[in-house]
Amino acid sequence: MKKSFIETIDNDKVGDDMFQLMSELYPICRSITGNGVVESLNILNRHLPLTIHEIPSGTKVFDWTVPKEWNIRDAYIKNSKGEKIVDFKKFSLHVLNYSVPVKKKVSLDELKEHLFTLPEYPEWIPYRTSYFKENWGFCLSHNQLLEMNDKEYEVCIDSSLEDGNLTYGECFIEGEEPDEVLLSCHACHPSLCNDNLSGVSLVTFLGKYLSTLSLRYSYRIIFIPGTIGSITWLSRNETNISRIKHGLVVACVGDPGMSTYKRSRIGNAEIDKAVEHVLKNSGKPYEIVDFSPYGYDERQYCSPGFNLPVGCLFRTPHGQYPEYHTSADNFDFVRPEYLSDSFSKYISVLKILENNKRYSNTNPKCEPQLGKRGLYTAIGGKSDTNADQMALLWVLNLSDGQHSLLDISERSGIDFDRIKDVADILQQKVLLQELQK
Amino acid sequence: MKKSFIETIDNDKVGDDMFQLMSELYPICRSITGNGVVESLNILNRHLPLTIHEIPSGTKVFDWTVPKEWNIRDAYIKNSKGEKIVDFKKFSLHVLNYSVPVKKKVSLDELKEHLFTLPEYPEWIPYRTSYFKENWGFCLSHNQLLEMNDKEYEVCIDSSLEDGNLTYGECFIEGEEPDEVLLSCHACHPSLCNDNLSGVSLVTFLGKYLSTLSLRYSYRIIFIPGTIGSITWLSRNETNISRIKHGLVVACVGDPGMSTYKRSRIGNAEIDKAVEHVLKNSGKPYEIVDFSPYGYDERQYCSPGFNLPVGCLFRTPHGQYPEYHTSADNFDFVRPEYLSDSFSKYISVLKILENNKRYSNTNPKCEPQLGKRGLYTAIGGKSDTNADQMALLWVLNLSDGQHSLLDISERSGIDFDRIKDVADILQQKVLLQELQK
Amino acid sequence: MKKSFIETIDNDKVGDDMFQLMSELYPICRSITGNGVVESLNILNRHLPLTIHEIPSGTKVFDWTVPKEWNIRDAYIKNSKGEKIVDFKKFSLHVLNYSVPVKKKVSLDELKEHLFTLPEYPEWIPYRTSYFKENWGFCLSHNQLLEMNDKEYEVCIDSSLEDGNLTYGECFIEGEEPDEVLLSCHACHPSLCNDNLSGVSLVTFLGKYLSTLSLRYSYRIIFIPGTIGSITWLSRNETNISRIKHGLVVACVGDPGMSTYKRSRIGNAEIDKAVEHVLKNSGKPYEIVDFSPYGYDERQYCSPGFNLPVGCLFRTPHGQYPEYHTSADNFDFVRPEYLSDSFSKYISVLKILENNKRYSNTNPKCEPQLGKRGLYTAIGGKSDTNADQMALLWVLNLSDGQHSLLDISERSGIDFDRIKDVADILQQKVLLQELQK
């Protein structure tokens, strides 16, 4: 028999496990299509059974078209002595992602138009892409660029950009209800830890854990390329979208910054209330920001034609840490303890969603007599009332069909878990009846 | 002819009268049933004509059952020398309220399981009850307990717990309208001044005063045992509950603390706005707290099946002063000046309810010409406008059916009494027409 | 072809022009009726084509009656030496506005009942009126009063108060739509600069400028006597009032104080949002005050029977500067730079109203592919997104029929002009479709 959601997990172990999985995925050069994604999904599949979907290049998905498939085998710059001074095989960020094939000698001046560096962080290598405009290029440290004095260099990018597929992975965990919780992460970035091996890894272990539980909701977990992936997924699943009752985009969950929640476009959806409740009660600093139409795949889920209740729970927002989209987004920056802290917050949020039901008080006129049911202390007159009695009274008073258990927790200031426990007892005593949605 | 509500009363006198009535009621041992309540209601009946209701033990009232009637004639503990060291006849708190009869010799150890003291206030005697579980016991000061060294004591509680009645008193004061204002106080506590001889006494004199007035609303005043009394009353009056348009639970109105208002469950009912207006304009510190499902009989009136617009206007909230439910809740703690201050706030609240009507401007397009009706100064161009003219303009501008006089007072910042006076003048000039609800 | 609203104007020049027009109007003795108003409207007519309306005395306008027409040719006080010590011909404020004719010798005591001074500002001459009660009088400085020691004086007011007309000027500027913006100013005050030659002058040049533009809304500009003028105008235009979608009462726009906006009675009408947006983004101090039923003609426009979306954008509120309604409201107090600042704020407000449309995203499911339309940068992965891209995304995301461009500007924090420009581009690319109201 599966476990209930209330049971706890070993956070230290899960932090280490996530970190380990990230290490395995790190060297692979992923992109929005191609073998790197496929290889990564195969690794994830060992932890979580995935359905792999392949969508042919050229498929129309809303206003977009699935692009050609990009694969790369090798890429380097050789100096006049024939030495490889930039070598993709050593580090996947070195190539402009989606570079078309090239093999020729070029002058330094011409080459410079194809080189990307970060002058403000001269030791770091940037991550750059050119998905929708054909181009080629290399990314390297600015210090390295300053040392390049040869007149001519040999450049080689052994890539292909051809009709093929866009690949994504999907895991469906069936719960009691057909209503779904969507967990979405982009799995298209190459060797970048926080963005988004951290998200990929957290979602994998979240799915693994959910699979062991007896669940109310069904969970749909998707590993997709950013933007084109969520557009493709929404396009192919349009008829079932109304099943999604709550969702989170998972990214940037391993850095040392505080937890940040970006609200859904709806702004006060149940997922918004649940995450805010968890962060408010976490005892740690946090930040809540309103929806804006820039970021990750929430841009698509929250487009006006869908307007899904999907928020994003990350740590430092993308673009607000200097390591973002550079070689410094590595294993010095992302650490197991931050992964583990994020993981436990996701668990707390899902626990609320699973248990956040509405009840109707079966005895709404005056209080029921709690004493005869063993729910009230016998000696009266004291000035203190214990917390469980207050929880009982709050749940009874607000179970009028208008308030969920989370609403009651917020209104009373009493911990959600205690409110939930008390509701269970009252339901056993037939003083509450669960309401269908 | 009866007086209008606007006339003032002698606050000093009413404070002394309330204090005097409390002194008369203080020695009587009241409980949720029994002769003490009957005797007390008979005393109140000399000030305010009451209908006495008797509900037999065993009557089902919603989820509850009217308990057996408890009566007590004597109770004491005698030491080995035969001296009464605890004597109920000297002070009603000495017996655990609702104790079953007992007469026997007991060892000190056994006795201690039936003794209640307050170690943190060693000179005070606590008030304790055991309404719904049969038990016996004594309350005494902790110092007295420490002096008890005999091996054996004689205990006697000459009480009876038998089928009888639950008794409550009700006074109905008829106004122009069938709509009612409910004033409810619990009258079940023995020798405790603030909780709730203060409330009993204030409501009595409020009723006495209301009886002399020409009233818009009908008033229903009830003196009931806490919890079981309001449940019984609601159960017997269920079909007429919709007549209650406003209500207040009256308790703890004589202590030196500031006035506190606990909102109805609705939160922004007219009674809530009226009390908040009075406290805000009282020039004295005050506090407003939201509804919570613990406290006095508002727990029943505001249960989700009734959800009546009933708030509580007290001074220091119950349980938040150390004297609460102890022998120290006495005539050192409750004083006439605080009773009188509470009384005048209740009067102010009722005055607002009585006068808080809605009007429609009979001349809604542009301002009416006030000058030709003698309502505007003749020389124009000055920079100041007197307050009555502003009140005239506000009442005319907001008398659109959406705003009551209290709304207009709040919106304009002009005193309710002035707004009401101005509305009367405008009604005389046929510039306003009263709206029916 | 007429210019679009986006083009800029020469603020310095318009400030000087307004100041010049005020100088021309200053000496004329205006009142709520009479030749002074007619003469003033004729001067305005040189800048802005006006329709002059004449409404006969005695005409019923709602609860009011159009008064007799007042004209004045001369007025003075002569001392015993026959010297004119107060001379209306030198300064129009010297006569109590609407004084009935008088010519006689009076004792100083009798005279004093007809003299108005400002003891707290002994050098200033007050402005006083007696429109609706027949009276006569003179206004003078308090210092001058103190020097009056003769026993007898000769007073002469060569005025007439006879059946005639109330005169007002109206200018209608036709736009694409029949919906109207109302700009209303009172033109009844004599030699007072801020109140309200500043408003008269600003509205004149605003109308002159609007006439050169290609407009969405039609504009109705009225120069009316205060109170009786707006009542008369509303009475005569009652059937067309529903065309007024936005309006501003224009007064006191030339003093050195900060801009103040008094909201319409509705409080959150589009005009309220537009003005608040302009002031908030002006980079200068400002104040927003709620509607109150005292002030200028908004009292009538916002009476409950009309409740029009009409606010007032002035500088220091009337009555809150000591110069108000005195001879010190002159050309030292009102300066071209303040007039010009007010003018540009009015222009900004109207520019928002003209452009504040609603659109529907023609591609609401996921984002449209901006890159293939040349609206997105080609190299991805950078952490900054330029402001125009953010504006594109905001407009697309919120163009769901619920949000106007002003709403989108407020929500995104992006300048209204940029939002409007981006909406134009998206409309050209057929990604937005304008919604009809």
For residues B313 and B230, state if they share a domain: yes
For residues C50 and C189, state if they share a domain: yes
Averaged over B303-316, what is the pLDDT?
98
Cα A193 to chain centroid distance, Å, stands at: 13
Q: What digits encode the pLDDT tens for the residues C93-130?
A: 999 999 999 999 999 999 999 999 999 999 999 999 99
pLDDT at A385 over 70: no
B1: in domain: no
Alpha carbons A72 and A132: distance in angstroms, whole number? 17
Averaged over B188-196, what is the pLDDT?
97
pLDDT of residue B361: 97
Cβ-based contacts of B361 with chain C (< 8 Å): 304-305
> Residue A366: which of B116, B132, B231 has the nearest Cβ?
B231
Boundary residue ending a domain (A143, A162, A181): A162
> Residue C306: which of B363, B365, B371 has the nearest Cβ?
B365
- Contact assignment for C318 to B383 by CB distance below 8 Å: yes
pLDDT grade, residue A101 (50/70/90)?
A: very high
For residues B405 and B305, state if they share a domain: no
- Contact assignment for B380 to C129 by CB distance below 8 Å: yes
A17: in domain: yes
- Contact assignment for C62 to B366 by CB distance below 8 Å: yes
Q: Are A129 and C380 in contact (CB under 8 A)?
A: yes
Alpha carbons C148 and C104: distance in angstroms, whole number? 17
pLDDT grade, residue B245 (50/70/90)?
A: very high
pLDDT of residue C376: 78
pLDDT of residue C89: 96
Residue in B closest to A386 by C-alpha: B294
pLDDT at C383 over 60: no
For residues B238 and B121, state if they share a domain: no
Contacts of C51 (CB under 8 A, 6+ apart): C169, C170, C171, C172
Alpha carbons C363 and C347: distance in angstroms, whole number? 34
Percent of chain A with pLDDT over 70: 97
Q: B374 and chain C: CB distance < 8 Å anywhere?
A: no
Averaged over A371-400, what is the pLDDT?
81
- Contact assignment for A378 to B133 by CB distance below 8 Å: yes
Residue C205 DSSP SS3 = helix
Residue in A closest to C412 by C-alpha: A292
Q: Which residue range forms the structural domain that includes residue B390? A: 358-434
pLDDT of residue A384: 54
Cα C67 to chain centroid distance, Å, stands at: 24
Residue A384 vs residue C33, higher pLDDT: C33
pLDDT of residue A11: 80
- Contact assignment for B325 to A365 by CB distance below 8 Å: no
> Residue B293: which of A365, A384, A393 has the nearest Cβ?
A393
> Residue B366: which of C132, C303, C318 has the nearest Cβ?
C303
pLDDT grade, residue B11 (50/70/90)?
A: confident
- Contact assignment for A381 to B306 by CB distance below 8 Å: no
Smallest CA–CA distance, residue A2 to chain B, in Å, is: 37
Cβ-based contacts of C127 with chain B (< 8 Å): 381
Boundary residue ending a domain (B119, B134, B162): B162
For residues C202 and C344, state if they share a domain: yes
For residues B204 and B260, state if they share a domain: yes
Q: What digits encode the pLDDT tens for the residues B388-421?
A: 889 999 999 999 999 999 999 999 999 999 999 9
Cα angle at B402 between B400 and B406, to 5 degrees? 105
Alpha carbons B311 and C59: distance in angstroms, whole number? 55
Q: Are C166 and C227 in contact (CB under 8 A)?
A: no
- Contact assignment for B397 to C128 by CB distance below 8 Å: no
pLDDT at B269 over 80: yes
Averaged over A427-437, what is the pLDDT?
93
- Contact assignment for B135 to A378 by CB distance below 8 Å: yes
pLDDT grade, residue A132 (50/70/90)?
A: confident
Q: What digits encode the pLDDT tens for the residues B110-167?
A: 999 999 999 999 999 999 999 988 999 999 999 999 999 999 999 999 999 999 999 9
Contacts of C338 (CB under 8 A, 6+ apart): C253, C254, C255, C256, C315
Interface of A with B in 303-362 (CB under 8 A): 361
pLDDT at C183 over 70: yes
pLDDT grade, residue A301 (50/70/90)?
A: very high
Tokens representing B422?
């101005």
Smallest CA–CA distance, residue B95 to chain A, in Å, is: 13
- Contact assignment for C364 to A303 by CB distance below 8 Å: yes
Alpha carbons B217 and B117: distance in angstroms, whole number? 46
pLDDT of residue C343: 97
Q: Are B166 and B38 in contact (CB under 8 A)?
A: no
ipTM of the complex: 0.93
For chains A and B, what is the number of CB pairs under 8 angstroms? 90
pLDDT of residue C52: 98
A2: in domain: no
> Residue B303: which of A365, A383, A385 has the nearest Cβ?
A365
For residues B78 and B210, state if they share a domain: no
- Contact assignment for B378 to C130 by CB distance below 8 Å: yes
pLDDT at C253 over 70: yes
Mutate to test the interface with A, among B303, B310, B320, B325 (most CBs of A within 10 A): B303
What are the helix (H) ranges across A46-126?
Answer: 108-112
Q: Which residues pair with C159 in a beta bridge?
A: C72
pLDDT grade, residue C212 (50/70/90)?
A: very high
Averaged over A119-144, what is the pLDDT?
95
- Contact assignment for C380 to A130 by CB distance below 8 Å: yes
Q: Are A66 and A55 in contact (CB under 8 A)?
A: yes
pLDDT of residue A187: 98
Smallest CA–CA distance, residue A238 to chain C, in Å, is: 10
Averaged over A292-310, what is the pLDDT?
97
pLDDT at B1 over 60: no
For residues B155 and B238, state if they share a domain: no
Q: What digits encode the pLDDT tens for the residues A179-212?
A: 999 999 999 999 999 999 999 999 999 999 999 9
pLDDT at C2 over 80: no
Q: What digits encode the pLDDT tens for the residues C302-357?
A: 999 999 999 999 999 988 999 999 999 999 999 999 999 999 999 999 999 999 99
pLDDT at A306 over 90: yes
What CATH number is associated with residue B326?
3.40.630.10
For residues A184 and A289, state if they share a domain: yes
Helices A11-25, A336-355: axis angle to 10 degrees equals 120
- Contact assignment for B294 to A361 by CB distance below 8 Å: no
Greatest CA span in chain A, whole angstroms?
Answer: 95
Give the closest residue to A25 by CA, choosing from A202, A162, A163: A202
Q: A294 and chain C: CB distance < 8 Å anywhere?
A: yes
Give the closest residue to C223 by CA, choosing from C295, C297, C291: C297
- Contact assignment for C294 to B369 by CB distance below 8 Å: no
Least trusted range by pLDDT, from A50-54, A119-123, C367-371: C367-371
Smallest CA–CA distance, residue C191 to chain A, in Å, is: 53
Q: B383 and chain C: CB distance < 8 Å anywhere?
A: yes
For residues B267 and B312, state if they share a domain: yes
A6: in domain: no
- Contact assignment for B366 to C64 by CB distance below 8 Å: yes
Residue in A closest to C366 by C-alpha: A300
- Average pLDDT over chain A, rounded to an integer: 95
B3: in domain: no
- Contact assignment for C293 to B393 by CB distance below 8 Å: yes
For residues C205 and C135, state if they share a domain: no
Task: Please count the CA atoms within 13 angstroms of the CA of A7 that sit on its side-chain side.
Answer: 11
Smallest CA–CA distance, residue C366 to chain B, in Å, is: 42
pLDDT of residue B383: 56
C4: in domain: no
| Cut 0.90: pTM above it | yes
Percent of chain B with pLDDT over 90: 92
Q: What digits encode the pLDDT tens for the residues B204-231?
A: 999 999 999 999 999 999 999 999 999 9
pLDDT grade, residue A436 (50/70/90)?
A: confident
Neighbours of B270 (CB within 10 A): 18
- Average pLDDT over chain C, rounded to an integer: 95
User: Which region holds residue A88: left if phi is over 0, alpha if psi is between -120 and 50, else beta?
Assistant: alpha
Percent of chain C with pLDDT over 70: 97
- Average pLDDT over chain B, rounded to an integer: 95
What CATH number is associated with residue A395?
1.10.10.10
pLDDT at C384 over 70: no
Number of separate domains in chain B:
3
Averaged over C47-53, what is the pLDDT?
97
Smallest CA–CA distance, residue C133 to chain B, in Å, is: 6
Interface of A with B in 235-254 (CB under 8 A): none
Cα A331 to chain centroid distance, Å, stands at: 19
B2: in domain: no
Cβ-based contacts of B129 with chain A (< 8 Å): 379-381
Contacts of B139 (CB under 8 A, 6+ apart): B93, B94, B95, B96, B115, B116, B117, B125, B126, B127, B128
Smallest CA–CA distance, residue A415 to chain B, in Å, is: 16
What CATH number is associated with residue C86?
3.50.30.90
Cβ-based contacts of C400 with chain A (< 8 Å): 304, 307
Tokens representing B58?
């065993």
For residues C274 and C298, state if they share a domain: yes
Alpha carbons C274 and C353: distance in angstroms, whole number? 7
Averaged over C216-227, what is the pLDDT?
98
pLDDT at B41 over 80: yes
A31: in domain: yes
Chains in contact with C, where contact means 3 or more Cβ–Cβ distances below 8 Å, are A, B
Q: What digits encode the pLDDT tens for the residues C395-421?
A: 999 999 999 999 999 999 999 999 999
Boundary residue ending a domain (C301, C320, C355): C355
Cis upstream peptide for C196 (omega within 30°): yes
pLDDT of residue C12: 84
Smallest CA–CA distance, residue A381 to chain C, in Å, is: 51
Q: What digits encode the pLDDT tens for the residues A63-93?
A: 999 999 999 999 999 999 999 999 999 999 9
Cα B232 to chain centroid distance, Å, stands at: 18
- Contact assignment for B302 to A412 by CB distance below 8 Å: no
